Amino acid sequence: MLKRQNPSSPEHSRELAADGGALSMSHNDSRSVFNLSQLVLSAGQIKPSPALKHSKITYFEVEIVDVQSKKQICIVDKVSPASTLLDVKHKFHKACPQWYPSRVGLQLERNGPFLKDSISIQSLAVSSIITLYFTDLGQQVGWTTFFLTEYTGPLLIYLLFYIRLSTIYDQVESRKNFRHPVVHLACFCHCLHYIRHLLETLFVHKFSEGHTPLKNMIKGCAFYWGFTSWMAYYINHPRYTPPSFGHKQVSYAALAFLMCEAGNHFINVALAHQTNSGNRTCFPSPTYNPFTWLFLLVSCPNYTYEAGSWISFTVMTQTLPVGIFAFLLVIQMSLWAQKKHKLYLKRFYPEVGRRAAMIPIIL
């Protein structure tokens, strides 16, 4: 016969306790899940923690090699891809203090052009090691210093001759001879020309990056200062002979000089305004100012006006040194204009093709 279990037996009690414990545990778990869900709903959606990004930056090593001997000078290591060539020059200067960044010329190839300071290192990289050839450019000066020195000299030198120093002219002869009005007018025009250059250097022109060798400044100063001394000596001499056609020749030439000076200034302002606005994708165009309409005929009207100023000054003073100076200056500016005109033709051919470089129709 089957033996009936006694509900009050110890075994039955343990089973009931186990069942009751299981029920109570499952009940507590359900309450915990419920409370957790309420907490989540009240706190908002749980955002997963962002995964850490392990970005591996590749650094470059720049090997500086002497362009003549092909010997390694130093290695600039840990150069980031965002660095520019100017950053490399500064690190190179720290390793070799005798070479300032302004006098360091770097080339990608031995016979190649010098690289600009703004170029990025990443654009030069073929591998993690970049080889650049070093050239010592010599002592350098900034463009602002270059032009201020070049233009201040003629302004002061001419005034020294104008006041007729005793060390230059005979004082007895200077007191006897009357100064023709063209002498005073020539001094005014000459000073106006170089004062305009100085003010435009300080407040109008925006020079490109880089420097120029000191020897270029010495050559420029020798040219301008020397010719100014020669011109001023004859124009301010007590025995100076006025122009052949008298007042009419002086008046027309002075008027042409002032118009060329104004045109040159407005052209420089228009070019500076275009550069400051960042619009370099189109050829410089004339504005509402009539002096800028010369852009329709030539690609370098500033050189045209500059040549016109010195030709007018030659006619006004009728002096051989001024004529020689104007002749040499026109030749030099025509070469500069031809070079710029070729660059304009490469970039803006359909628009520049019908224009001349400096002199309408001829150049």
* Per-residue pLDDT tens digits of the chain, which is 363 residues long: 334 444 444 444 444 344 444 434 444 555 554 554 554 445 444 444 444 344 456 789 999 999 999 999 999 998 998 899 999 999 999 999 998 898 999 999 988 999 998 899 989 988 889 999 999 999 999 999 999 999 999 999 999 999 999 899 988 888 888 899 999 999 999 999 999 999 999 999 988 766 899 999 999 999 999 999 999 999 999 999 999 999 999 999 999 999 999 999 999 999 988 766 555 567 777 889 999 999 999 999 999 999 999 999 999 999 999 999 999 999 999 999 999 988 888 887 777 777 888 988 664
Where does 60-138 sit in CATH, by number? Answer: 3.10.20.90
- Provide long-range contacts, Cβ within 8 A and 24+ apart, for 78-83: 79/121, 79/130, 80/121, 81/57, 81/120, 81/121, 81/122, 81/125, 82/120, 82/122, 83/120, 83/121
From 310, 15, 63, select the one nearest 189 (Cα to Cα).
310
* CA atoms of 170 and 198, how far apart (whole Å): 32
* CA atoms of 201 and 145, how far apart (whole Å): 9
> Angle, to 10 degrees, between the axis of helix 181-203 and the axis of helix 246-276?
0
Please report, for the chain, how many H helices and E strands are present, in that order: 10, 6
Instruction: Write down the domain spans for the chain.
Output: 60-138, 141-241, 243-362
Which helix or strand (DSSP H or E) is residue 142 part of? strand 140-142
